[in-house]
Amino acid sequence: MRGRALLMVFLLSLMYVVCGARLGSERQKLEIEKHLNRLNKKPVKSIESPDGDIIDCVHISHQPAFDHPYLKDHKILTRPEYHPEGLFDDNKVSVKPKERTNPINQLWHLNGKCPEGTIPIRRTKKDDVLRASSVKRYGKKKHRSIPIPQPKSADPDLINESGHQHAIAYVEGDKYYGAKATINVWEPKIQQPNEFSLSQLWILGGSFGQDLNSIEAGWQVSPDLYGDNNTRLFTYWTSDAYQATGCYNLLCSGFIQINGDIAMGASISPISAYRNSQYDISILVWKDPTEGHWWMQFGSEHVLGYWPSFLFSYLADSASMIEWGGEVVNSEADGHHTSTQMGSGHFPEEGFGKSSYFRNIQVVDGSNNLKAPKGIGTFTEQSNCYDVQTGSNGDWGHYFYYGGPGKSPNCP
């Protein structure tokens, strides 16, 4: 009798577990579908990219930004009121033939263009969301990435603990209204799918506590986010240190895109090769003094769009720090090191054509002028794994080489 009762209890709990799991997965499926419907707006036209992406051309007024309650009645600005002065200076520079670099494109351009009045948005697929730790976290940085480099105030243990490794140049101690850089583009190797390697600029405001404001843009390789090892153009923003607000690209409402040619999150092509052709992208982010919005420009002609001022607290006024450089995630425990590469995977000493660079790094000052940054500092957790070296000359202005191979005899 006792045995039977026990068996009954066992069977009942088994049923409960099985049904519960099925209900859970049904619920998850519904949740994913709802999320995909929210993210993927009805396209006017869709373009299949050679890398497997689908680029949806979405009517400009149907983009994700307008899901934001504060943007319901927002009138889209068609262009910034002001461009920082000195913007086109680097076009006048005569580059030595040895250091000639090439223009760059997005891979999906091979298969079509978006019609007038629409913007290209990389379609989110079910698999993209399934790779995330949860539907809610999809498109967001993990909490543990909070200690982004905090060169002076940082608790070194905390920096190392986070598993994130940087090699960056930075300026602080002034009010900044924008930043610019021309960034060499590579396709670093990623050891594990949950790691990433990126090269970007950071526009930072606030303390490095819970209220950090950040606008970020550059290129990244992130198997978790995109499902492949391609180098992709990306942006990120947060107004609470990567907690509740913000996301990559257009994966939440916030950024308002006005450009019909460039898709955020789409693959960049071609990529630089060791001792061979070099490619770079220019990124400029600046605060328009009239409306206070933060604008972004890609290359010399593509104004991508803007982050409305109300998204931010500190950055609604100005930035207190600018950083440029590389970041990787090291997922190895116990002081061991990943072989995930930063930049080209080669150290700064190797120089042009071998090591990755940022050139013409500039900041925007209170009078809306682009200026050489003053008092550039550098930071890296472990220079034997990933390093950075700054310099300046007439052709490249302020520049630096950065990166490294990760795991090596010098970086066990």
Ligand X SMILES: *[C@@H]1O[C@H](CO)[C@@H](O)[C@H](O)[C@H]1NC(C)=O
Decide: 279 and 102 in contact? Cβ < 8 Å. Answer: yes
CB under 8 Å to 93, separation ≥6 — which residues?
A: 394, 395
Closest CA to 200 of 162, 232, 243: 232
Strands (E) in 12-87, as ranges, are: 43-48, 54-59
Known catalytic membership, residue 216:
yes
The residues in 189-228 that bind ligand X, with binding defined as CB under 6 A, are: 189-190, 223, 228
Asked if 167 is part of the footprint of ligand X (rule: CB under 6 A), the reply reads no
Question: Using the rule CB under 6 A, which residue among 194, 382, 390, 392 binds ligand X?
Answer: 382
The answer to whether 238 and 45 have CB atoms below 8 angstroms apart is: no
Q: Between residue 91 and residue 110, which ones bind ligand X under the rule CB under 6 A? A: none
State the number of binding residues for ligand X (CB under 6 A): 11
Closest-CB residue for ligand X? 156
The tally of CA atoms less than 13 A away on the side-chain side of residue 274 is 8
Across the strands, what pairs with 280?
A: 184
* Mask for 317-336, x = binds ligand X (CB under 6 A): ------------------x-
User: Does 161 interact with ligand X (rule: CB under 6 A)?
Assistant: no
3-state secondary structure of 255: coil
Q: Nearest approach, Cβ of 102 to ligand X (angstroms)?
A: 25
Rule CB under 6 A: is residue 159 a binding residue for ligand X? yes
**Largest Cα–Cα separation, the chain:** 93
Does the annotation count 349 as an active-site position? no
In Å, how far are 143, 331, 361 from 162, measured between CA atoms? 10, 9, 27
Among 381, 391, 392, 395, binds ligand X (CB under 6 A): 381
**Annotated catalytic residue: which of 187, 195, 216, 323?**
216
Subset of 67-86 contacting ligand X (CB under 6 A): none
| 388 belongs to the binding site for ligand X (CB under 6 A) | no
CB of 395 to ligand X, least distance (A): 33
Which sequence positions are flagged as catalytic? 216, 327
Q: Which residues bind ligand X (CB under 6 A)?
A: 156, 159-160, 189-190, 223, 228-229, 335, 381-382
